């Protein structure tokens, strides 16, 4: 092997050390073996095939499901001086012919190709005339019918193994759940491959769940914590996407809407601005995000409940790919839960499917209501045990007070029972609080033994209690889908006084003003740069913006924020010192070294 993996890592990619399992994976593939790599978003998967591509003779063929992504990946590699290119339907016949020629001549290190192109007889024949270093199958979960990214062509990728049994294959995915993992191994004939399974923890993401008050204030607070940075705001409906984007724009935020109802051109334009410019906030339905590789998304805010824990993990995972401090915020309202419940019950899905969906929703509600460490709860859902409370989530940073809620729960459950297990939380709370309204009288509920036994809590506190009872499975939403509540299977022991129940009051709380102050103080996501360094950082970012625009590539392809921050902090005086900065490899040093030093000297 002419170059060792580590020296390539430093010289070409500008990184000082491997992360996690990267080195083992690189050695494994470079030695010609197969691998299945499960690593969370931002874990550094690309390097696991990009480095072996440089270590092995021939061209690495990278199967990638999204044409839009290929361009950015190829741009980024070219910035590093790597001979990368792609073949897809956006190219002219001449461009494609040139790529084919270069492939045959052995002039390409990495070739990105969409699966449908790869599988054409013409392309397979072309591969026969070329030297192949390895096959990388990116986003390998596309082979699974159960995920939402299913791509039928992925099923045919076994042809690679059959036709070129000696060429190593590496399949990669950030999908965490076990059934999908098994399916990938099976469908891609990778049962005998070595499986590299990393922790799915994303330590740099701070998780927070807040009871939402319906207004814009909470969202604006999230955005203000990351002013000038990119973020994603998820909303459940197209309409809400539109109104939220508009409201944010009125508050001076560079917000753009994205949903499937916009025409393709508008969508592409908005996505492009999000990827290329600094500081765009994308307000979107979940139609947005698959394959968004932007490394410097600083926050993901859910203004409505996501569909499931899987969805939540995947969507929040789009924050902080670059490993820098980031935030995942979720605004939680019981109305959302009821809506999702109705959607499940009213769908035409078979009963078995509905049961699965219900379980998933329960898990999500449980997560929202939990007073335990969010990271521990989240990872536990995916079967991973996180050893201790993380210290980087809302529950760790400002623990919620809990009380013995057994008596309160019994009152609520009895009242649901006495009113006939068909009313929603609002009415039951009216009865508990001894409200005098017409509906209570109409049903004769003022005569019940539970009438007025809950005056000690206000309606808001009761709502929280009901959310928690639902999350704990003590109450369930009625099957007719109108939000009527009935006793859950596990309510018996509580009603009979056989077990105790811990509740938090008014939770998940809206942060108090003082706490918000604290949280904002805590959420200074980076060590503040000192005055001078901050000025240098701003100047470097401005330079990066100009440079990126003139080359028509995303800003992060030139340098990541983390790299610019390090440069701003250390203010290297010469090329030699600049070379020691993380993220400055040989090609970028040669290309941008002088310009960077010039920006710095203009600031000194």
Task: Count other Cβ atoms within 10 Å, centred on residue 450.
Answer: 21
Q: Which of 183, 304, 322, 357 binds ligand ADP (CB under 6 A)?
A: 322
Residue 366 contact, options Zn ion, ligand ADP, none, Cβ 5-8 Å cut-off depending on partner type:
none
Span of 71-79, 284-292, 367-375, 377-385 interacting with Zn ion by CB under 5 A: 367-375
Helix (H, G, I), strand (E, B) or coil at 422: coil
Which neighbouring-strand residues pair with 38? 173, 197
- Count Cα atoms within 13 angstroms, Cβ side, for 358: 20
Residue 396 contact, options ligand ADP, Zn ion, none, Cβ 5-8 Å cut-off depending on partner type:
Zn ion
Task: Count other Cβ atoms within 10 Å, centred on residue 580.
Answer: 11
Residue 471 contacts residue 508 (beta carbons within 8 Å): no
**C-beta of 444 vs 580, nearer to ligand ADP:** 580
**C-beta of 34 vs 138, nearer to ligand ADP:** 138
CA distance 270 to 277: 10
Q: What is the DSSP letter of 13?
A: I
Q: Are strands 35-38 and 194-197 parallel, antiparallel or unpaired?
A: parallel
- Count Cα atoms within 13 angstroms, Cβ side, for 43: 24
Q: Which of 270, 375, 504, 565 binds Zn ion (CB under 5 A)?
A: 375
Q: Which of 15, 117, 342, 446 binds ligand ADP (CB under 6 A)?
A: 15
**Total site size for ligand ADP, rule CB under 6 A:** 17
Q: How far is the CB of 179 from ligand ADP (least distance, A)?
A: 21
Q: How far is the CB of 502 from Zn ion (least distance, A)?
A: 18
CA distance 77 to 110: 9
**C-beta of 45 vs 276, nearer to ligand ADP:** 45
CA distance 7 to 585: 11
Structure tokens that stand for 317 in this block: 């995972």
Q: Which of 140, 393, 428, 568 binds Zn ion (CB under 5 A)?
A: 393
Which neighbouring-strand residues pair with 487? 475
Span of 30-38, 48-56, 365-373, 488-496 interacting with Zn ion by CB under 5 A: 365-373
Span of 64-72, 78-86, 391-399, 434-442 interacting with Zn ion by CB under 5 A: 391-399
**C-beta of 167 vs 205, nearer to Zn ion:** 205
Q: Which residues contact 573 (CB under 8 A, 6 or more apart)?
A: none
Residue 481 contact, options Zn ion, ligand ADP, none, Cβ 5-8 Å cut-off depending on partner type:
none
Q: Which of 321, 374, 536, 541 binds ligand ADP (CB under 6 A)?
A: 321
Residues 559-598 that bind ligand ADP (CB under 6 A): 560
The DSSP H or E segment spanning 593 is helix 586-603
**C-beta of 283 vs 328, nearer to ligand ADP:** 328
Site string for ligand ADP, 289-318 (x = CB under 6 A): ------x-----------------------
Q: Which of 219, 365, 373, 408 binds Zn ion (CB under 5 A)?
A: 373
Structure tokens that stand for 106 in this block: 């052995």
Residues 538-557 that bind ligand ADP (CB under 6 A): none
175-187 b/e (C-beta count within 10 Å ≥ 16 → b): bbbeebbebbbeb
Structure tokens that stand for 182 in this block: 């098994």
Task: Count other Cβ atoms within 10 Å, centred on residue 509.
Answer: 17
Task: Count other Cβ atoms within 10 Å, centred on residue 428.
Answer: 26
**C-beta of 389 vs 473, nearer to Zn ion:** 389
Give me the phi and psi of 94, to 5 degrees please. Answer: -65, -45
Q: How far is the CB of 234 from ligand ADP (least distance, A)?
A: 19
Residue 29 contacts residue 168 (beta carbons within 8 Å): yes
Q: Which residues contact 218 (CB under 8 A, 6 or more apart)?
A: 210, 212, 331, 510
Task: Count other Cβ atoms within 10 Å, centred on residue 566.
Answer: 18
Residue 381 contact, options ligand ADP, Zn ion, none, Cβ 5-8 Å cut-off depending on partner type:
none
Q: How far is the CB of 456 from ligand ADP (least distance, A)?
A: 50
Residue 65 contacts residue 203 (beta carbons within 8 Å): no
Site string for ligand ADP, 19-58 (x = CB under 6 A): x--x----------------x-xxxxxxx-----------
**C-beta of 47 vs 533, nearer to ligand ADP:** 47
Q: Is 396 in the site for Zn ion (CB under 5 A)?
A: yes
Residue 373 contact, options Zn ion, ligand ADP, none, Cβ 5-8 Å cut-off depending on partner type:
Zn ion
Contact positions vs ligand ADP (CB under 6 A) = 15, 18-19, 22, 39, 41-47, 295, 321-323, 560
Contact positions vs Zn ion (CB under 5 A) = 373, 375, 389-390, 393, 396
């Amino acid at each position: 092997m002419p170059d060792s993996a580590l020296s390539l890592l430093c010289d070409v990619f500008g990184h000082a050390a491997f992360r996690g399992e990267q080195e083992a994976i690189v050695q494994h593939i470079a030695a010609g073996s197969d691998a299945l790599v499960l690593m969370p978003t931002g874990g550094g998967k690309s390097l696991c095939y990009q480095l072996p591509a440089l270590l092995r003779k021939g061209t690495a063929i990278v199967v990638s499901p999204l044409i839009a992504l290929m361009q950015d990946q190829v741009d980024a590699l070219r910035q590093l001086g790597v001979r990368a290119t792609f073949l897809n339907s956006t190219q002219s016949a001449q461009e494609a012919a040139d790529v084919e020629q270069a492939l045959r001549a052995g002039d390409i290190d990495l070739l990105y190709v969409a699966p449908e192109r790869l599988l054409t007889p013409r392309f397979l024949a072309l591969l026969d005339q070329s030297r192949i270093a390895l096959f990388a199958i990116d986003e390998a979960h596309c082979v699974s019918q159960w995920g939402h990214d299913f791509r039928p062509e992925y099923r045919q990728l076994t042809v690679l193994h059959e036709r070129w049994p000696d060429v190593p294959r590496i399949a990669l995915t950030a999908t965490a759940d076990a059934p999908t993992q098994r399916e990938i191994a099976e469908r891609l004939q990778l049962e005998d491959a070595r499986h590299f399974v990393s922790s799915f923890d994303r330590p740099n993401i701070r998780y927070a769940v807040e009871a939402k008050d319906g207004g814009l204030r909470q969202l604006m607070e999230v955005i203000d914590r990351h002013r000038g940075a990119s973020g994603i705001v998820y909303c459940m409906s197209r309409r809400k996407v539109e109104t939220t984007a508009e409201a944010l724009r009125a508050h001076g935020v560079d917000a753009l809407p994205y949903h499937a109802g916009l025409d393709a051109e508008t969508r592409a334009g908005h996505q492009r601005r999000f990827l290329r410019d600094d500081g765009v906030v994308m307000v979107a339905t979940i139609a947005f995000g698959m394959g968004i590789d932007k490394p410097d998304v600083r926050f993901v805010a859910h203004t409505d409940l996501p569909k499931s824990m899987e969805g939540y993990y995947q969507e929040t995972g789009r924050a902080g790919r670059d490993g820098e401090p980031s935030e995942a915020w979720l605004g939680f309202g019981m109305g959302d839960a009821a809506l999702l419940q109705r959607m499940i019950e009213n769908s035409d899905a078979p009963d078995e499917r509905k049961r699965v969906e219900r379980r998933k929703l329960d898990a999500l509600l449980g997560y929202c209501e939990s007073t335990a460490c969010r990271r521990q709860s989240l990872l536990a859902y995916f079967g991973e045990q996180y050893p201790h409370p993380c210290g980087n989530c809302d529950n760790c940073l400002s623990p919620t007070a809990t009380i013995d809620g057994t008596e309160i729960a019994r009152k609520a459950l009895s009242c649901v029972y006495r009113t006939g297990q068909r009313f929603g939380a609002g009415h039951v709370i009216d009865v508990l609080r001894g409200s005098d309204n017409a509906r209570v009288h109409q049903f004769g509920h003022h005569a019940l033994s539970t009438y007025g036994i809950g005056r000690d809590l206000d309606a808001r506190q009761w709502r929280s209690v009901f959310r928690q009872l639902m999350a704990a499975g003590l109450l369930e939403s009625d099957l007719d889908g109108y939000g009527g509540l009935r006793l859950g299977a596990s309510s018996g022991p509580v009603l009979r006084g056989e077990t105790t129940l811990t509740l938090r009051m008014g939770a998940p709380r809206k942060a108090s003003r003082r706490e918000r102050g604290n949280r904002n103080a805590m959420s200074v996501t980076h060590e503040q740069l000192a005055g001078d360094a901050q000025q240098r950082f701003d100047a470097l970012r401005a330079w990066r913006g100009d440079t990126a625009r003139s080359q028509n590539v995303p800003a992060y392809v030139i340098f990541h924020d983390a790299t610019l921050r390090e440069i701003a902090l250390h203010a290297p005086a010469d090329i030699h010192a600049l070379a020691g900065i993380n993220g400055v490899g040989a090609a970028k040093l040669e290309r941008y070294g002088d310009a960077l030093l010039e920006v710095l000297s203009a600031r000194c």
